[in-house]
Chains A and B, each alone.
Chain A
Amino acid sequence: MNKPNERKLTIARAMAEAVAQEMRVDPSVFVMGEDIGKLGGVYGNTRGLLEEFGAERIRDTPISETAFIGAAVGAAQDGMRPVVELMFVDFFGVCFDAIYNLMAKNIYFSGGNFKVPMVLMTSTGGGYSDAGQHSQCLYGTFAHLPGMKVVCPSNAYDAKGLMTAAMRDDSPVVYMYHKSLQGMGWLATEPGATVHTPEESYTLEIGKAKVAREGSDVTIVSVGMGVHHALKAAAQLEEKGTSAEVVDLVSLVPLDRDTIRKSVAKTGRLIVVDEDYMSYGVSGEVIASVTEHDISVLKAAPKRVAYPDVPIPFARVMEQYCLPNPDKIVAAFDGMNAA
C-alpha cells in the first residue's frame, strides 16, 4: 500500500487527525480522558488537539474512569458525540459498569429511543515488560458483551477511517489500539503499521474484515498486532513453498464471518493468532464461525496461537515466551501438516 512520495502516518497521528477533522465540522464531538490535553495522550493519539480546540472540547479528567465514562454516556444521550479514552484497557476493572451496563445497554433498554454515539478508545497489548496490569488485550472480554461495536486497527490507514466511522456511528464503539503499532518515541513500533494515509477525511466500514495478503494453502486470521506477526509468518512460509492468506479482522464486533469462511473455504486450513488469552476468546470464536458453518471445508484441525491462560509476567524472557510471534505461527502450520 506504500508508494514513493506518499504521506505516511503513525496510527497515533492518524487517530488525532481523524478526530481533528471531525471536530472541525461537528461541534458535538469532544474528547475527554486522562492526560489527553497538555500531554496529547500517553500514546500520542490526541496530540495537537488541545492547541487547536481548547480545554472546553479537549478535557483532561481526574483519574475517575467510572465518572467520566458514565458522563460520556449521559452526554451522548443528550446530543453530544464524546470520544473518551481509557488509558490502558487493563483499567476497565475500575469502571466496567459504566461501559457494559450503561454505554452498551442504554440503546436496548430505551428500545432505541436514546442513541449513545460515543467512542471509547483504549490501548492494548504488551511485549515491553509492563507486567500484568498494563499489558493485556482483553479483546474477547469486550467483544463478548453485547451492545458495543469493537474495532482494532492494524495500520494507520485503517486507524483513521475507523476513527471517523466510529465518531459518526450512533452506537458506542470501543476503539482498541495496540501500543506496539502506535508510533511512540518511547516504544518500538512495528514498521508495517505506519502506512500511507490520505489527508482528506474518509471512513472505513465497521464490521468488515480485509484480506491483508492473498494465499491458497492456509488462512491466518488475526487482529491488530497479530496481523503483522501473521504477515511475517506468511513470508517465512512462502520461502518454504506454502501460500498463506492473511485475514485482518479489523472489527471484532460485528465480526465479518463471511470473509473468514470464504478464505477458509479456499485454503482448507485455519490458524488464528490472538494476543489475548486463549480460552473463551476471539480465537475460539473465529474457529467456531467456520466449524459450525461448514466443517467439511477443513483439511486439518484448526490451530490457535494465543496468549496462554496466565497473567502476563514482567520478566522479559517469560513474557516473550508467552506472546505470539511469527515462528510460533509457522510451527503451528508445520504441526498442522504433521497431524
Chain B
Amino acid sequence: MAPTREQQHWMYRNMVTSRKFEEAIAGIYFEGKTPVFSMADGPIPGEMHLSDGQEPVAVGVCAHLNAGDVVTATHRPHHQAIAKGVDLDKMAAEIFGKKSGLSGGRGGHMHLFDADVNFACSGIIAQGMGPAVGAALSRKMQNKPGVAVAFVGEGAVNQGGWHEAMNLAATWNLPFVCVIEDNAWGISVSKEDSTAISNNAERASAYGMPGVRIADNDPYAIFEAAGEAISRAREGKGPSLIEVETYRLAGHFMGDAEGYRPEGEKDALFEKDPIPKMRANMLADGMASVAELDTIEAEAAARVETAIKFARESADPAPEDALTSVFA
C-alpha cells in the first residue's frame, strides 16, 4: 500500500525536520571545540552520532505507529525520536544537558526516553531488542493494543542478544518488528568484512518469521514493508524483520575523519540524498506542489529553531541533581 498524499507530507516533514535538526546540532557541536578539538568542551559535549541520510527508515516505519506503540532506538536515535513524536524542545534540551531536557540532562543524546510516546534508547548495540520484545509481551499479556518496534543497525545482528530476542519474539508470537538500518558501516568496519551474509533479512527464516530487504533507502518501499509488518503484528500474526539499505551521510560520530571509506563513496552517497529525491518524487507524482514543500521546509526549519532556542536558553541542572532519580 502506497502512502497517501497526507502520509507523504508527514513523511517529508519529519525527514526535513530531522535533517535540519542534525544540521543545527552539527553547527553548534563545534562551538567551543576549536582550535583544538576536545569532545568534552562546548555547549554539546560528548559523543554525537548524527542520522543524516537514514531518515527514510524512521519515517517509513513510524508513519504506521501511534503514541501508544513502543519504539526502542539506538545510539543514533534522533531521526527515530523525531518520527516517533518525541517532544523536540525537551529532546534538544536533553542533548544540551539542560534541566528542561527529557531526563533533566541525565541521559544525553544516546539515552533519549519519552514515556509520553513510549520511546526508549540503549547506547549498547542490539540491547534495545529485549525491552521491545518485553513491551510486545506486555501488550499481548494485557490484551492491550500496540506493537513494539526495535530499530537496530546492521552491526547489531552480529550480537548474540539480537538472536536471543528474535527467537523469543517468534516463540511467543509477539507483536514485534525489528527494523535494521543497514548503513554498511559499524564505525570503521564494513558490513562485508564483518557479516557472513549480505542480506540480513534472510536471517528471519531462522526464526520462522517474514523478512524483507529494502534496497536503496526508498521511503515508499519502506513504508509499504513496514505497513505490512506492523499490520501483521497488530493482527496477532507475530513478528517480522525488515532490513533497509540506508546511507550514513555523516561519520560514525562527529570528528570522525572517515579515512576508512573508499574514495568517492561519500560523494556517491550525497548524490542519493533521500530528501531532495523524495521532494522530486512528490513533485513528479503530483503529490505536492512546490509551494507546499517550501512551506513544509520552512515550518520544519522554524520548529528546529524553536527547539534549539529553548535548549540554549534553558538552565543547567543543579550539579546535585545528579544524585536524584536513581530509584523510582
Contact = CB atoms under 8 A, between A and B. Distances in A.
A109 B124 contact: no
Interface string A54-79: 00110001101111111111111111
Contact of A171 (B106, B148, B328): B328
A70 B156 CA distance: 15
A80 interface: yes
Contacts of A109: 103, 106-107, 111, 113, 121
Contacts of A30: 141
B111 to A, nearest CB: 4
A66 B131 CA distance: 10
Contact of A73 (B103, B115, B131): B131
Contact of A67 (B115, B133, B135): B133
B168 A117 contact: no
B182 to A, nearest CB: 22
A41 interface: no
B106, B141, B327: most-surrounded residue (chain A CB, <10 A): B327
A117 B328 contact: yes
B9 to A, nearest CB: 31
Given A110-B115, A110-B120, A117-B328, A77 B131 contact: yes
Given A30-B141, A68-B168, A80-B141, A111 B325 contact: yes
B129 interface: yes
Given A77-B135, A113-B103, A113-B115, A66 B327 contact: no
Nearest to A116: B328
A229 interface: no
A111 B114 CA distance: 10
B161 A70 contact: yes
Nearest to A80: B138
A101 interface: yes
A149 B327 contact: yes
A62 B137 contact: no
Interface string B121-137: 11010010111111111
B196 interface: no
A68 B129 CA distance: 10
A79 B142 contact: yes
Contacts of B106: 108-109, 111
Nearest to B103: A111
Interface residues of A, number: 48
Interface string B276-306: 0000000000000000000000000000000
A74 B161 CA distance: 15
A117 B138 CA distance: 13
Nearest to B321: A111
A41 to B, nearest CB: 20
A107 interface: yes
B111 A64 contact: no
Contacts of A101: 122, 124, 127
B148 A98 contact: no
B99 to A, nearest CB: 10
Interface in A117-150: 117, 146-147, 149
A208 to B, nearest CB: 15
Interface in B314-328: 324-328
A117 B327 CA distance: 10
B259 interface: no
B72 interface: yes
A75 B137 contact: yes
Interface in B34-86: 70, 72
A147 B326 contact: yes
A73 B134 contact: yes
A71 B169 CA distance: 10
B120 A107 contact: no
B190 to A, nearest CB: 25
B137 A113 contact: no
B188 interface: no
Nearest to B113: A110
B104 interface: yes
B191 interface: no
A114 B131 CA distance: 13
B62 to A, nearest CB: 18
Contacts of A146: 326
13 contacts: A66-B164, A67-B165, A68-B130, A70-B130, A70-B165, A71-B134, A78-B139, A80-B138, A80-B141, A82-B134, A108-B325, A110-B102, A111-B107
Given A71-B133, A109-B121, 4 more contacts: A70-B165, A75-B134, A78-B138, A78-B139
9 closest A-B pairs (Cβ-Cβ)?
A: A70-B130, A74-B134, A71-B134, A74-B131, A111-B103, A67-B164, A170-B328, A110-B113, A64-B164
Interface of B: 70, 72, 101-104, 106-107, 111, 113-115, 118, 120-122, 124, 127, 129-139, 141-142, 148, 160-161, 164-165, 167-168, 171, 324-328
